[in-house]
């Protein structure tokens, strides 16, 4: 089994993230690169969101972040169980797209969240982002339905602790 390493983003990672955020396959689904980078940089200070670089065989290739959604002020997320968090991620290195790394590192990362006591992990891809939806499905996420979050149209998908434990 491939082992991924998740290391906390530091200020030194911002140029790499800026490069990745500017790539067409990332930019299509994320906000403008400068805006996204400013948000990630803010997370380095406020700790409300934990951003990580994902490495494979010692090479950085992806980004993932997690936010605790308990008490989140977004009507689209009402009714989620206690211990719900949300993740966002992308693969920055195009050569590694479509090779199964996304579902694999998400499953490993989600297991670490369940090990920390989380009960549910949510993702909210745009309903037109078939590539991401397929990756989330492969990682075990189940569709909850389309909604409009504070960030726009989304297909809410969830991975619950017990579902993950059965895999």
pLDDT in tens, 136-154: 999 999 999 999 988 889 9
- Both tokens assigned to 49: 């969101």
Mean model confidence pLDDT for the chain: 91
Closest CA to 89 of 113, 101, 110, 106: 106
The β-bridge partners of 122 are 86, 158
Question: Based on C-alpha coordinates, what's the Rg of the chain?
Answer: 15
Give the pLDDT of residue 15. 95
pTM of the model: 0.90
To the nearest 10°, report the CA torsion of 70, 51, 105, 78.
20
Nearest partner of 121 among 149, 80, 152, 90, judged by Cα? 80
Section 8-35 average pLDDT: 91
- pLDDT tens figures, 53-73: 999 999 999 999 999 998 788
Q: Tell me 74's DSSP state.
A: -
Q: Is the pLDDT of residue 166 over 70?
A: no
Name the token pair of 146.
Answer: 């389309």
The answer regarding whether domain 5-121 maps to CATH 3.40.50.300 reads: no
Look at residues 57, 62, 60, 82 and name the one whose alpha carbon lies nearest to residue 71: 82
| Contact of 62 with 91, CB cutoff 8 Å | yes
Model confidence over 72-104: pLDDT tens digits?
888 888 889 999 999 999 999 999 999 999 999
Q: Which residues, including other chains, have CB under 8 Å from residue 90's CB and lie 6 or more apart?
A: 20, 26, 29, 30, 62, 63
Residue 164 confidence (pLDDT) above 50: no
């Amino acid at each position: 089994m491939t082992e991924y390493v998740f290391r906390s983003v530091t200020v030194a990672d911002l140029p790499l993230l800026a490069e990745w955020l500017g790539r067409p396959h990332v930019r299509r689904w994320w906000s403008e690169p400068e805006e996204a980078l400013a948000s990630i940089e803010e997370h380095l200070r406020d700790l409300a969101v934990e951003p990580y670089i994902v490495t494979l065989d010692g090479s950085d290739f992806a980004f993932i972040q997690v936010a605790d959604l308990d008490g989140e002020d977004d009507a689209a997320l009402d009714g989620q169980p206690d211990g719900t968090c949300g993740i966002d991620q992308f693969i920055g290195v195009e050569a590694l797209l479509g090779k199964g790394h996304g579902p694999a590192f998400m499953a490993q990362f989600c297991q670490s969240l369940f090990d920390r006591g989380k009960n549910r992990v949510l993702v909210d891809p745009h309903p037109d982002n078939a590539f991401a939806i397929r990756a989330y499905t492969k990682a075990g996420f189940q569709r909850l339905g389309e909604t409009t979050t504070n960030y726009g149209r989304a297909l809410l998908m969830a991975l619950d602790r017990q579902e993950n434990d059965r895999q």
